[in-house]
Amino acid sequence: MPSVPRFGANYVPSSGWFYSWLDYDGAAVRRDFADLAAIGLDHVRVFPVWPWIQPNRAIIRRRAIADLLDTIDAAAEHGLSVAVDLIQGHLSSFDFLPSWVLTWHKSSLFEDPTVRDGLTAYVGAVARAVATKPNVFAITLGNEVNNLWPDSSTTPAASTAWAQDLLTTLKKAAPEVLALHSVFDDAWYKADHPFHPVDAVELGDLSTVHSWVFNGVSRVDGPLGPATLTHADYLVELAHATALDPARPVWLQEIGVPGPDIPTDLQAEFTRRTVETVLPNPALYGVTWWSSHDIDRSLLDFPDREYDLGLFTVDHERKPAAQALADLIADVRANGVPSGPTATTLTAPVNLRTEPARRPEVAPGSEFHLRWVEARAAGPVRIVLPS
């Protein structure tokens, strides 16, 4: 665990979104990283696009890997360390899969042994390459890989085995780097979801959570209501409670200010109050904002909320959320994290390790969630699972 939580951004290139990997511009990347260093961030999470590196199961494009390595070097030049996600997979509502798992080849990403062979080659090659860079501190299998399951059949046993096998490959290729498995919160809240909470807190070297208020929590009490402002802390608590290891860190790997749930004029206050709430949590490893830069509105067909999630505009203007985050970072580095009052405890109605079908009982708006939010108003509330 770092002495104070880490602060970073999920890197969305200001020019061309992730399509920019197809026409790589190292100078543009460096300009973007200058923005992020200026507000005090210490890391970026970057997203090479899987089918553009491995367009055929037998091909790993060395030019694409060289561009990724240059991005990592650009981060180092600006004092930023790097986490690399591998299987993209899912980005800003779009899915990116190579043709060799689609059309008449269509196979389950999670169950087909031929696809597993290709993925093993891809994960090993990219992990070995990026692990040569001293500022790479983590590699995640992919961005919210459980978003891919409706079009790629799987079961809880198959999804667990898939992640275990690829994490083994990753760790062998990059033994000194954190190896991680990342899922979005259907794994925590949906009864029949084939990715289970126990995987999120046992697979990989630390737990990751993604806190998005459009999952239903903003409908509980609005953009600045207590349920909305504490949702990140709630997810960190669920992950900490579900892990067998009480010292296992939890990385808040994604959080942002999606409209219309968080209106533009409230985004700075949401940022400040949400981060202030979660920072004292002793399980917190770091906070990584989604995202670094907006998406240019000349690009078509994104959900409207995706365009304006950046800390910076595409013209490199600092937005209110960026300034709020910069102020918080400066304060934490100058004064440390306030300790706050002694935590109380609240027992969940369901053991998420053994009763995943009962996950809706802890979902936003559930009786337990509302009890936790009410108790949280008086200070930190640790969640414990029933025996």
DSSP letters spanning 64-119: HHHHHHHHHHHHHHTT-EEEEEEE--EETTEE---GGGSGGG---TTT-HHHHHHH
**Is the model more confident about 383 or about 151?**
383
Q: What is the pLDDT of residue 89?
A: 87
The CATH code of the domain that includes 116 is 3.20.20.80
Asked if the structure places residue 71 within a domain, the reply is yes
Domain-embedded: residue 360? no
CA 204 to chain centre: 14
Checking 53-62 for CB contacts under 8 A at 24+ apart, the result is: 53/122, 53/126, 54/98, 54/118, 54/121, 54/122, 55/98, 55/99, 56/98, 56/100, 57/98, 57/100, 57/114, 57/117, 57/118, 57/121, 60/121, 60/122, 60/125, 60/126
pLDDT level of residue 340 (50, 70, 90 thresholds)? confident
What is the CB-side half-sphere exposure of residue 211 using CA atoms within 13 A? 31
Instruction: Report cis status (omega within 30 of 0) of the bond before 89.
Output: yes
Percent of the chain whose pLDDT exceeds 90: 95
Per-residue model confidence (pLDDT) at position 1: 78
pLDDT tens, residue by residue, 163-218: 999 999 999 999 999 999 999 999 999 999 999 999 999 999 999 999 999 999 99
Mean pLDDT of 336-357: 95
In a domain, 351, yes or no: no
In contact, 196 and 358? CB cutoff 8 Å: no
| Dihedral sign for Cα atoms in the order 8, 11, 15, 21 | positive
Would residue 59 count as lying in a domain?
yes
CA distances from 37 to 41, 98, 295, 306 (A): 5, 34, 20, 23
Question: What sign has the CA pseudo-torsion 99, 105, 111, 115?
Answer: negative
Report pLDDT for 112.
95
- The number of beta carbons lying within 10 Å of the beta carbon of residue 342 is 7
Q: How confident is the model at residue 235 (pLDDT cuts 50, 70, 90)?
A: very high
3-47 tens-digit pLDDT? 899 999 999 999 999 999 999 999 999 999 999 999 999 999 999
Taking only the tens place, the pLDDT of each residue in 68-95 is 999 999 999 999 999 999 999 899 999 9
Task: Report the mean per-residue pLDDT for the chain.
Answer: 97
Q: Is 338's pLDDT higher than 90?
A: no
In a domain, 384, yes or no: no
What pLDDT digit, counting tens, does each position of 308-331 carry? Answer: 999 999 999 999 999 999 999 999
> Domain residues for 18?
6-339
d(CA 287, CA 225): 21
- pLDDT given at position 103: 81
Domain count, the chain: 1
pLDDT at 205: 98
Least Cα distance to 133 among 86, 179, 177 occurs for 177
Domain assignment present for residue 356? The answer is: no
Task: Please indicate, yes or no, if residue 1 is contained in any of the structural domains.
Answer: no
Mean pLDDT on 97-112: 91
Distance CA 369, CA 366 (A): 5
How, if at all, do strands 178-180 and 207-211 pair?
A: unpaired
Inside any domain, residue 363: no
Kindly indicate the confidence band of residue 104, based on its pLDDT and cuts at 50, 70 and 90. confident
Model pLDDT, residue 30: 98
pLDDT band at 105 (very low <50, low <70, confident <90, very high): confident
